[in-house]
Structure 1
Amino acid sequence: MSDASISNPYAAPASQLQETAAAGQALSIEQALSRGYDFSIGELLSEAWQRTKGTKGIIIGGFIVFYAVLLIASFVLGGILGLLGLMSDNIALGLIGQMVTGVFAAALAYPFMAGINMVGIRRAADQPVTFNEIFSHFGRTVPLLVTAIVMMLLVYLGMILLIIPGLYLSIAYMLAIPLVVERGLPTWQALEASRKAITQHWFKVFGLFLLLGLITMLSAIPLGIGLVWTIPLFVISMGILYRTIFGVLPAAQ
């Protein structure tokens, strides 16, 4: 009998945990990090492509609505603050207006991206996917913003330190935002859970996202028409990776 079995006789076997996550059932963060996982880039992309059917309209529609709202709101807010700066002939006020507009845009962007991530995760777990999911996570704006800021600071610091640490963290933190939403983890726990999980197969995850990035860029060449297929492919691929590692909690009724 192994030491692990002696220390925790009620722990599920690793093979059982792998099957559970593969079926989309949720694992605890501790189980997910300790059991080990693996995936094939080709098989993951193939599954993601099959699962884009029925979700392209939701994902692309969500992006269109989001960018329309962001453009209008940023234009109006930026215009008002800029006008106030000109009227008062105060350069500092104009700079503050730009900062406020940037914070406002981020406050809209990260909950939206979290919603997009959740669409991919729910599709990967065969859970119901609705358009409302994309805009259902604005109640977590503060923890999402805090996580994004800490993540960016650490990545930028890593880039300063000979680039390689920053590249490592930029990939290792890819699942932090979904963990804040899907599991409700606080910032540091979400960052560390994502980092520890992805580090197990960092180069394979890097290869997956590099390939997805190339596919997405190439699809944008013919007037961006191909993005209708490749953006959902990217979103659902990320959802399948998340499901493979952590499993997915049942959708709230």
Structure 2
Amino acid sequence: MSNKKRVGGSLDKALRQESEFRPVAVLSEGWELTKTTFSPLLGALVVALAILVIAIMLVIQFMFGGELNLEEGNSTQILGLLQLLIMPPLMAAVHMMGIQHSIGKKSRVNDVFMFLKRPFPLIITAIITSLIVQLPGMFAAGSILVLLIIAFFSITLSMALPLVAEYQLSPLQAVKTSFLVVIKRFFAFATVYAAMLGLFIVAAIPFGLGLIWVAPMYYNVKGILYREIFGVATDENEAKTSHKAEDNDDSDNSNTWSA
């Protein structure tokens, strides 16, 4: 087996708060990286969305007789559950494509299927994070405080799915690790996500055409964040020296996964 090394940070450094990033630099790199990698990411996102839409249409046809009333609580819950069962392995693959782009590797559209052989840890992770994020809204939906709490958990748990995909952490370990690591750098992460939210809003104005660029950029930006904080496992002879992030060979390398 070829030797592995980590490009960027590492799990130990992340937990010790030794790996940091500059939001402006991350956003700038994400923009430049998207110039050469947006095609496979866009294709993967389109495929994932198409699979979800087809699944929803089949459920509507066979469970609701071709008609869906969103005012009925059961139908909304069924569609939400369907999304949680289908999308996590597909979106984890999209995250992984962005992570691989961050170290100079290329990807293909069919990489969106890379986790279909082991979807359950990713599905469980998505269910846990979804429950945590949505829980405040069950008690006081619509209040500004609740929206801020939801945003807080959305940010602090945003790295859980990539940690299961790349480090192969268990769902509970990934959720805990994401929270502990991100909360120590909360304002830096919040700055990046706020900037991306602004770009999404602007991109949606001209008939949503700007999303063709911003959606792939979002996953490249998350890949760069992941690289800077947690590092990315790669074959030693494939590691890119062009990145400013330092390589690391900590003992946690044995727990990594490489696409």
After TM superposition, the score normalised by the length of structure 2 is 0.76
- What does residue 199 of structure 1 align with? 183
The offset of 1:32, in angstroms, is 2.8
The offset of 1:41, in angstroms, is 1.4
Gapped regions of structure 1 (runs ≥ 5)? 1-19, 86-93
Distance in 2 between residues matched to 1:25 and 1:39, nearest whole Å: 11
Bigger helix share: 1
- AA aligned to 2:179 is R
The offset of 1:217, in angstroms, is 1.2
2:115 pairs with 1:137: yes
Distance in 2 between residues matched to 1:165 and 1:84, nearest whole Å: 37
Give the counterpart of 1:48 among 20, 30, 38.
30
Distance in 2 between residues matched to 1:102 and 1:83, nearest whole Å: 18
2:55 pairs with 1:73: yes
The offset of 1:223, in angstroms, is 1.5
- What does residue 237 of structure 1 align with? 221
CA contact (8 A) 1:49 1:233 kept: yes
- AA aligned to 2:175 is L
Q: Give SS of 1:38's match.
A: coil
1:37-62 per-residue CA deviation (whole Å, 9 max, x = no partner) reads: 22211111111111112211111112
- AA aligned to 2:197 is G
Distance in 1 between residues matched to 2:212 and 2:64, nearest whole Å: 36
The offset of 1:76, in angstroms, is 1.8
CA RMSD of aligned residues (A): 2.6
Q: Give SS of 1:43's match.
A: helix
Superposition pairs for residues 112-151 of structure 1, below 5 Å?
Answer: 112-151=90-129
Between the aligned residues of both structures, percent identity stands at 29
The offset of 1:201, in angstroms, is 1.2
Gapped regions of structure 2 (runs ≥ 5)? 236-257
Distance in 2 between residues matched to 1:220 and 1:166, nearest whole Å: 22
Pair member with larger Rg: 1
Distance in 1 between residues matched to 2:30 and 2:80, nearest whole Å: 33
1:217-241 per-residue CA deviation (whole Å, 9 max, x = no partner) reads: 1011111121121112111111000
The offset of 1:206, in angstroms, is 0.7
Distance in 2 between residues matched to 1:84 and 1:62, nearest whole Å: 28
Give the counterpart of 1:180 among 149, 164, 167.
164
2:230 pairs with 1:246: yes
1:40-89 per-residue CA deviation (whole Å, 9 max, x = no partner) reads: 1111111111111221111111222222222222212321122399xxxx
Cα distance change, pair 76–51 in 1 and its aligned pair in 2 (3 A): same
After TM superposition, the score normalised by the length of structure 1 is 0.78
- What does residue 8 of structure 1 align with? none
- AA aligned to 1:40 is R
Q: Give SS of 1:249's match.
A: strand
Cα distance change, pair 35–103 in 1 and its aligned pair in 2 (3 A): closer
Cα distance change, pair 51–84 in 1 and its aligned pair in 2 (3 A): closer
Q: Give SS of 1:250's match.
A: strand
Distance in 1 between residues matched to 2:9 and 2:189, nearest whole Å: 21
The offset of 1:96, in angstroms, is 6.8
- What does residue 134 of structure 2 align with? 156
The offset of 1:165, in angstroms, is 4.6
Cα distance change, pair 36–80 in 1 and its aligned pair in 2 (3 A): same
- AA aligned to 1:47 is E
